[in-house]
Amino acid sequence: MITYINETVEYLKDKGFDSPEVGIILGTGLGALINDVTILKEVSYNHIPNFPTATVEFHKGKLIYGELEGKKVVIMQGRFHFYEGYSLQDVTYPVRIMEKLGIHTLLVSNASGAINLNFSKGELMLITDHINLLGNSPLAFKGVSLLGERFADMSQPYDEELNNTLRALAQQHNIKLNEGVYASVLGPQLETKAEYRMLKILGADAVGMSTVPEIIVANHLNLRAVAISVLTDEGDPDNLQPVNIDDIIATAALAEPNLIVLTKAFIASL
């Protein structure tokens, strides 16, 4: 993997990806952030050596380098999911590349289903901890110790100082920011009533199919990491309604302005 990483980084540096400070993974609900970025360079994933290619219809497939709120950023416009058939090493490969390019902070966004019934769809949730239910780890491969500590510490996977910054900014901008534990499951099917009950018992406040692998690797690389979920549906097992992806995307679009305001203010504060 080290050879692959070096090839990818060299290619991107040759393309002008010069010492970004912050990496951003655009999930469902943050796509329009790109309109506020001064784009300096962009490369399609399928042109980047050793990079996976996005397969989900509503996820783009570009790595973007530019400026946002005075900071140099590298942005994944489209992410990879375990349920698409990739390995978790593939899913997290871009995080390793962003770290080698120079980022010190990683911001991840996603769409998730609310399990905590005090939360409502269309709201945001600051992820303060997570539960990995993917049945695998992005660190479970031969040679991982050459890239960082094999037994990566996960006592505080989400940077508390940065979380405090997000809390303060949300209050300042009058944005409701819930907080909670995010459970990552394989998917791609949504949860049954029994599964929602199980997740609640386990202590999850929201559930999705991403983010945790990237956060694990960010910690493996000693990056500061934060993550925010857009709550796009409500998983009440006693009143579970059918959900379709169009509804999820529409709800994410309604929450997007608040998430963009919060993200821009956060980047400016770094």
Structure confidence by residue, pLDDT tens digits, 74-100: 999 989 999 999 999 999 999 999 999
Residue 55 has pLDDT above 90, yes or no: no
* Confidence at residue 30, expressed as pLDDT on a 0 to 100 scale: 77
Produce one character per residue of 37-68: b if its CB has 16 or more CB atoms within 10 Å, e if not.
beeeebbebeebeebbebebeebbbbbbbbeb
Q: What fold, for 2-269? A: Rossmann fold (3.40.50)
Residue 56 has pLDDT above 70, yes or no: no
Rounded to whole angstroms, the Cα distance separating 241 from 121 reads 13
- pTM equals 0.95
| Cis ω for the linkage preceding 257 (within 30 of 0) | no
Alpha-helical regions (H) of 44-108: 88-101
Instruction: With cut-offs at 50, 70 and 90, classify the pLDDT of residue 54.
Output: low
Residue 247 has pLDDT above 90, yes or no: no
Tell me the residue length of the chain.
270
